[in-house]
């Protein structure tokens, strides 16, 4: 708990810091990477370039400070951060470095307003949060049986084209065994060396943990008129073949539904957001084939619908599974009623049935898609505590209701 001396300084400065949030994060990253260029190997430089990460770390510190006495509001935020940090191999020795540059950035941006008692209050708040993160990350490393920052080497057993732009990589240890246990919905970090820069990206495991291999399914982020090609996804597609080796983290992530309930589970995804959902579906099919499952997926059309084979296989054996597929712009080769069920954008009111409403809802897809579905579920009187989400990028805390 923050001290009574520091509390008023934090309360008074949170709104001011939020206004200057972007300037503070810019200063923070510039000074951090100048003093520690090696940390560029740890951060996602794609997110640095597109600006999403710049809003995330400082926003979390300010959100924490603003809610410092509201543990219930903070718990899910902290949970997500520590899983992400653990997948990146963040160690306790990184925290003094980040703290120094974050506090330095606050001081620079606030100028004369950054009085010694105000800076002491922020030092206290940073270390309160850092202490919680360090302890939780240590627990995760211990559970995974690894040292912070220890990578596993796996061999790519197979490479499979799943759709126009998605490729699956099946992974096993060099001895031919499973890389280990995981919970469906979790992800790994993949390590890639791009010239001098090492980059890490997270990929959800896309099959059941009961298999003897792990599988990830990677969408190639193509160049567009406005954005450059994604670095790691393109590198993987262009370079990784069966027999190659990859360095990966153990599995982490808190998007892990309890599987052994009797109530319906509703999995709602769009595009590449299908990956954790298929892992959850395949595990349910094997372990809990009597649980009602609704699998709702939105894709552009059949050529952009990855992992269709998994859906067909699950449908053949899971008799309480209902699949609803929605193609925004179906092709002449797509068959209404067979490969897809609705044309146009997903309308949850159309896809859901009365019995589904007692269930838990899991969302994964682009931010705009998740916001729309979130609002539809709330409008259908689903309680927010029964809606769960995975974001394939830095969680932008202000973009989604919590």
Ligand X SMILES: Cc1cc2nc3c(=O)[nH]c(=O)nc-3n(C[C@H](O)[C@H](O)[C@H](O)COP(=O)(O)OP(=O)(O)OC[C@H]3O[C@@H](n4cnc5c(N)ncnc54)[C@H](O)[C@@H]3O)c2cc1C
Asked if 105 and 28 touch (Cβ cutoff 8 Å), the reply is yes
CB of 370 to ligand X, least distance (A): 13
Residue among 152, 203, 191 at smallest CA distance from 175 = 152
From residue 182 to residue 201, what is the string marking binding to ligand X with x (rule CB under 6 A)?
A: -----x-------------x
CA torsion through residues 94, 95, 96, 100, sign: positive
Question: Closest distance between ligand X and the C-beta of residue 280, in Å?
Answer: 13
From the list ligand HEM, ligand X, none, pick the one residue 318 interacts with, judged by a Cβ distance below 5 to 8 Å according to partner type: none
Rank residues 15 and 96 by Cβ distance to ligand HEM and give the closer one. 96
- Largest interatomic CA distance in the chain: 69
Both structure tokens of 88: 């990146």
Q: Which is nearer to ligand HEM, 94 or 389 (CB)?
A: 94
Q: Which listed option, ligand X, ligand HEM, none, makes contact with residue 187 (CB within 5 to 8 Å by class)?
A: ligand X
Active site amino acids = 95, 137
User: How far apart are alpha carbons 368 and 370 in whole angstroms?
Assistant: 5
SS3 label, residue 328: coil
Alpha carbon distance 221, 227 (integer Å): 10
Examine residue 304 and tell whether it contacts ligand X (CB under 6 A): no
Give the residue, chosen from 6, 13, 53, 206, that forms a contact with ligand HEM under the rule CB under 6 A. Answer: 53
Report the alpha-carbon distance of residue 238 to residue 231 in Å, rounded. Answer: 11
Shortest distance (Å) from residue 272 CB to ligand X? 5
The answer to the question of residue 219 lying near ligand X (CB under 6 A) is: yes
Residue among 148 and 307 whose Cβ is closer to ligand X: 307
Q: Exposed, middle or buried: residue 197 (CB in 10 Å: 0-12, 13-18, 19+)?
A: exposed
| DSSP per-residue string spanning 179-245 | -----TT-EEEEEEEETTEEEEEEEEB-S-TTSSSEEEEEE-----SSSPPPHHHHHHHHH--TT-E
- Report the alpha-carbon distance of residue 255 to residue 390 in Å, rounded: 6
The 59-98 site mask, x for binding ligand HEM (CB under 6 A), equals -xx------------------xx--xx--x-x---xx--x
Q: In sequence order, what are the residues at sequence separation of 6 or more whose Cβ sits closer than 8 angstroms to the Cβ of residue 109? A: 20, 23, 24, 27
Q: Which does 395 bind (CB under 5 to 8 A by kind): ligand X, ligand HEM, none?
A: ligand HEM
221 lies in the site for ligand X, by CB under 6 A: yes
What does R_g of the chain's alpha carbons equal in angstroms?
22
Residue 98 beta carbon to ligand HEM: minimum distance, rounded to whole angstroms: 4
- Minimum distance from residue 43 beta carbon to ligand HEM (Å): 4
Minimum CB separation from ligand HEM for residue 398, in Å? 12
Q: Which is nearer to ligand X, 76 or 228 (CB)?
A: 228
89 binds, among ligand HEM, ligand X, none (CB under 5 to 8 A by kind): none
CA torsion sign for 362, 365, 368, 372 is negative
Task: List Cβ neighbours of 244 (8 Å cut-off, separation of 6 or more).
Answer: 155, 156
Spell out, one character per residue from 111 to 150, where the chain touches ligand HEM: x when CB under 6 A holds, - when not. Answer: ---------------x--xx--x-----------------
Binding residues for ligand HEM (CB under 6 A): 39, 42-44, 47, 53, 56-57, 60-61, 80-81, 84-85, 88, 90, 94-95, 98, 126, 129-130, 133, 394-395
Binding residues for ligand X (CB under 6 A): 44, 46, 49-50, 187, 201-204, 217-219, 221, 227-228, 230-234, 253, 272, 275, 390, 392-393
């Amino acid at each position: 708990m923050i001290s009574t001396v520091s509390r008023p300084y934090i309360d008074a400065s949170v709104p001011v810091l939020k206004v200057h949030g972007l300037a503070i994060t810019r200063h923070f990253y510039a000074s951090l990477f100048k003093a520690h260029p090696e940390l560029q190997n740890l951060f996602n430089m794609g997110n640095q370039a597109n600006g999403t990460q710049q809003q995330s770390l400082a926003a979390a510190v300010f959100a924490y400070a603003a809610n410092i006495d509201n543990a219930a509001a903070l718990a899910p935020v902290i949970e997500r951060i520590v899983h992400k940090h653990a997948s990146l191999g963040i160690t306790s020795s990184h925290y003094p470095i980040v703290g120094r540059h974050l506090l330095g950035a606050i001081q620079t941006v606030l100028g004369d307003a950054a009085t010694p008692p105000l800076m002491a209050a922020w030092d206290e708040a940073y270390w309160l949060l850092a202490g919680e993160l360090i302890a939780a990350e240590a627990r995760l490393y211990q559970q995974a049986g690894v040292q912070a920052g220890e990578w596993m080497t796996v061999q790519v057993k197979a490479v499979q084209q799943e759709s126009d732009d998605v490729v699956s990589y099946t992974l096993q240890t060099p001895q031919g065994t499973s890389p280990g246990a995981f919970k469906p919905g979790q992800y790994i970090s993949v390590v890639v060396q791009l010239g001098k820069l090492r980059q890490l990206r997270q990929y959800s495991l896309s099959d059941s943990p009961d298999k003897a291999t792990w599988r990830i399914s990677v969408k190639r982020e193509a160049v567009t008129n406005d954005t450059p090609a994604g670095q790691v996804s393109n590198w993987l597609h262009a370079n990784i073949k069966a027999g190659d080796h990859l360095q990966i983290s153990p599995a982490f992530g808190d998007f892990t539904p309890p599987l052994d309930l009797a109530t319906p589970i509703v999995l709602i995804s769009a595009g590449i957001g299908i990956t954790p959902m298929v892992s959850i579906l395949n595990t349910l099919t094997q372990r809990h084939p009597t649980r009602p499952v609704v699998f709702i997926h939105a894709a552009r059309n059949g050529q952009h619908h990855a992992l269709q084979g998994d859906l067909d296989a699950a449908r053949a054996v899971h008799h309480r599974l209902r699949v609803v597929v929605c193609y925004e712009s179906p092709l002449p080769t797509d068959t209404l009623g067979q490969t897809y069920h609705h044309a146009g954008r997903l309308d949850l009111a159309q896809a859901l049935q009365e019995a589904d409403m007692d269930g838990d809802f899991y969302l994964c897809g682009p931010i705009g898609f998740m916001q729309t579905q979130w609002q539809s579920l709330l409008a259908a009187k689903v309680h927010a505590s029964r809606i769960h989400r995975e974001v394939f990028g830095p969680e932008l805390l202000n973009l989604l209701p919590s």
